[in-house]
Amino acid sequence: MKKELLIIFLFLLQFLLGQNIPEIKVPYIKSDVKIDGVLEETCWKNAREITDFIITFASKKDIYGQKPKNKTVGYIFYDDDYLYIAVECYDEDAKNLRIWKMTERDKGWGDDCVEIFIDPGLSRKRTYQYIINAKGIVYDQKFDDGKNIVDWDSGFEYGVKVEKEKWVVETKIPFAELELREDMKAEWGFNITRFEPREWIVQSWAPVFGGNLQPDKFGIIKDIKVDYTRYKFILDLISWGNLYIGDDFVEYSIKNISKSPLNLIFEIYTDRLLNKKDIKLKPEETKNVSLDYSLEKKDGKLTILVKDEQGKISYMRTKYFKIPESSINIKSEIPVYYLSDKNIIAELEISIGRNSLKKSEIIFQICDIIKGSVKNNRNKKRIGKKFGENTNKDKGVERG
């Protein structure tokens, strides 16, 4: 009995000791680093090392708080525009990593993966989450005061390299996508976790026992002394548009939260510059703005950049998109009809940009087809102008 009580006491003591919030100082390092999963540059040798990972979730609860079998080492530093984070995941059986649960960006979970959590200014409420599996597939999202913003995409750079006895994640995260503010402090919430599905354990730098998404238990990174005076406005994105082939526009509201006028440059990119616009804001002024763009028939990402007069980026927002194979589809199945019928109902799904919809006409033709040939052209209608108002998928029901 005494032996059992001693074991329980030692386990509880170990568990409680693991509740201490870890803190580190992050060095400023100016470096031209290639993001490829190979940590060979001098900057990584001078980066702050993150160790002391503990088990925070497992199928066996008696190992909570213990040191994991497989070693994990993190590295972190920053410069004027980016936060650099790398993670080495040691594994003697690296050739058998699980990498088939996450099939594409923002889909699935359960592979060997690393998760990075960033809470700028140590709000203990807001965090940006970056999940990267051992195949280099990403799942990213934002949480704000308990609200999950699933459509948030990151424009960060990352690289993954699988070696014989470890796999490595290397990242370069832009400060401009973290919605910094002029009044933020240089202490941030931060954590790195690693999921090992073959052992079914999560190891973590911070004591987030039972679940990774606990900003109040994240560790603290100090001395993030970026130029916070660069971030003098709040931008609320209203709409990306349809994100389909053709002409469209983004809509957003921007507020100058400083006591000085602002002269800003807005740019929108795919793999090239699509459009730009200069915006002037008086002190504490709010404006609603739109910026036109055009997409070609290929998948990709759309990026908004906001620069100050010196060309420094102070805001970045990214959205990944997929162009549908067809721009027009009949969504609902057309029923069998008879020659005596005077109308049929068809629901169309139109997948093109809003500006293109407004200047297009769509011909809806009804034919009788017998043995592969058109027997009789029964009706034709032009229905283009009723489309183009919706921000996602445009639908039209035509009777004719």
- Report long-range pairs for 208-211 (Cβ below 8 Å, ≥24 apart): 208/56, 209/15, 209/18, 209/19, 209/56, 209/57, 209/64, 209/65, 210/56, 210/57, 211/57
List of residues 6+ apart from 341 with CB closer than 8 A: none
The answer to whether residues 291 and 143 touch, using CB atoms and an 8 Å cutoff, is no
36 vs 187: CA distance, rounded Å: 28
What's the pTM?
Answer: 0.87
Residue by residue, pLDDT tens for the chain (400 residues) are 444 444 444 444 444 444 689 999 999 999 899 999 999 999 999 999 999 999 999 998 899 999 999 999 999 999 999 999 999 999 999 999 999 999 999 998 899 999 999 999 999 999 999 999 999 999 999 999 888 888 899 999 999 999 999 999 999 999 999 999 988 989 999 999 999 999 999 999 999 998 999 999 999 999 999 999 999 999 999 999 999 999 999 999 999 999 999 999 999 999 999 999 999 999 999 999 999 999 988 899 999 999 998 999 999 999 999 999 888 887 666 667 676 777 777 777 889 999 998 888 777 666 665 555 555 555 555 545 444 444 444 433 332 3
Task: Name which CATH class applies to 232-321.
Answer: mainly beta
* Interior angle at CA 31, CA 128 and CA 187, nearest 5: 40
Domains 14-226 and 232-321 share a fold: yes
Residue 374 pLDDT = 53
199 vs 69: CA distance, rounded Å: 10
CB-based burial of residue 252 (10 Å sphere; 0-12 exposed, 13-18 middle, 19+ buried)? buried
114 vs 351: CA distance, rounded Å: 36
304 vs 273: CA distance, rounded Å: 10
The answer to whether residues 206 and 21 touch, using CB atoms and an 8 Å cutoff, is yes
Q: In 3D, which of 209, 127, 132 has the Cα closest to residue 170?
A: 132
Residue 391 pLDDT = 40
Residue 146 pLDDT = 81
Residue 253 pLDDT = 97
The answer to whether residues 211 and 197 touch, using CB atoms and an 8 Å cutoff, is no
Number of other CB atoms surrounding residue 208 within 10 Å = 22
145 vs 127: CA distance, rounded Å: 9
Residue 45 pLDDT = 96
The pair phi, psi for residue 377, each rounded to 5°, is -80, 105
In the chain, where the domains are located: 14-226, 232-321, 328-399
Q: What tokens appear for 289 in the block?
A: 């703005």
| Fold assignment, 14-226 | Immunoglobulin-like (2.60.40)
